[in-house]
């Protein structure tokens, strides 16, 4: 644990997450908003910048806090017994405050470009993730896998002897490869504060021409990362330290239950859509 006070750790999480969202949200804004010099720069630019955003956020906060910058990581480590529950509220609270501030500054920085951009989905993507194909079962699984790799990777990186100061860059590289390899399906939130914090600000801020904040999808980038992080942290302790935690089984069970529910709801939705199509076809046929 850090030798700084919990107040300073709280401030460290605010500062680090602020930098994370400022650079991460900023690169998405530059790529998707109209009339920016980075417009249409592409997915590679976004993934590299997000990796560097994580690294820079960790450097900014690392001398004050443990630089979690991610409620899923904080909770996963707490469930695994690697982080004190008494410090969880300060860390998670700091992460969300930093995300709120970062999203607000991104909005102000690109202020005239919101009005110049007509695509409401593009505007939302600056603040929050969304699926390439809306399929909750697959979307949840993708967020679980991405966060599992992130947390298991971070714990593995920490166990290696690495020159002082290089860890954040290596974690940043991990973020880049997660984005390039796994992020194309959901936008790889892998961090509840990164998604829910700015999504709240999207709903609150007077963004010109904005649309829905897509609250129907918002639970995926919260539940998925928390489950993925908990499974990763407890599985790491089981494999490496031979420490078995009940939370490993609970998190896997919750994942299975939620996936079954989403599969069932998806089938019901598909049946309703088919029924509507048949009714529309019959109505059109009768009229003709």
HSE-CB for 248 with a 13 A CA cutoff: 14
Does the residue 283 lie in any domain?
no
Q: Are the C-beta atoms of 190 and 228 separated by less than 8 Å?
A: yes
What is the spatial distance between Cα 63 and Cα 140, in angstroms, rounded to a whole number? 34
Does the residue 271 lie in any domain?
no
Does the residue 286 lie in any domain?
no
**Which CATH number do you get for residue 51?**
1.20.1080.10
- Structural domain tally of the chain? 1
pLDDT tens-digit readout, 91-117: 999 999 999 999 999 999 999 999 999
- Spatial neighbors of 40 by CB under 8 A, at least 6 apart, are 31
pLDDT score, position 139: 97
Question: Model's pTM, two decimal places?
Answer: 0.92
Q: Are the C-beta atoms of 68 and 49 separated by less than 8 Å?
A: no
Does the residue 28 lie in any domain?
yes
Range of the domain at 246: 6-260
Does the residue 282 lie in any domain?
no
pLDDT score, position 88: 98
pLDDT tens-digit readout, 236-285: 999 999 999 999 999 999 999 999 999 988 777 666 566 656 555 455 55
Does the residue 140 lie in any domain?
yes
Question: Residue 117 in 3-state DSSP?
Answer: coil
Does the residue 265 lie in any domain?
no
């Amino acid at each position: 644990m850090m030798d700084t006070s919990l107040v300073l750790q709280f401030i460290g999480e605010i500062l680090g997450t602020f930098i994370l969202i400022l650079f991460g949200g900023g690169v998405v804004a530059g790529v998707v908003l109209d009339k920016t010099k980075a417009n249409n720069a592409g997915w590679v630019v976004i993934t590299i910048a997000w990796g560097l955003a994580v690294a820079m956020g960790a450097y900014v906060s690392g001398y004050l806090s443990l630089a979690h910058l991610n409620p899923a990581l904080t909770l996963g480590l707490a469930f695994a017994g690697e982080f004190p529950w008494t410090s969880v509220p300060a860390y998670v609270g700091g992460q969300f405050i930093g995300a709120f501030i970062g999203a607000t500054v991104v909005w102000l920085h690109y202020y005239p470009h919101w009005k110049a951009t007509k695509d409401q989905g593009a505007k939302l993507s600056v603040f929050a993730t969304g699926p390439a194909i809306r399929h909750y079962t697959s979307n949840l699984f993708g967020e679980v896998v991405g966060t599992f790799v992130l947390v298991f990777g971070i714990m593995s990186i920490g166990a290696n002897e690495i020159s002082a100061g290089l860890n954040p860059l290596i974690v940043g590289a991990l973020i880049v490869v997660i984005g390039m390899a796994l992020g194309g399906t959901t936008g790889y939130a892998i961090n509840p504060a990164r998604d829910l914090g700015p999504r709240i600000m999207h709903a609150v801020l007077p963004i010109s021409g904005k649309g829905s904040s897509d609250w129907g999808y918002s639970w995926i980038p919260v539940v998925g990362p928390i489950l993925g992080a908990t499974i990763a942290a407890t599985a790491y302790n089981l494999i490496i330290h031979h420490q078995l935690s009940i939370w490993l089984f609970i998190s896997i069970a919750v994942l299975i239950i939620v996936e079954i529910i989403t599969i069932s709801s998806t089938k019901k939705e598909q049946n309703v859509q088919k029924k509507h199509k048949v009714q529309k076809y019959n109505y059109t046929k009768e009229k003709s």
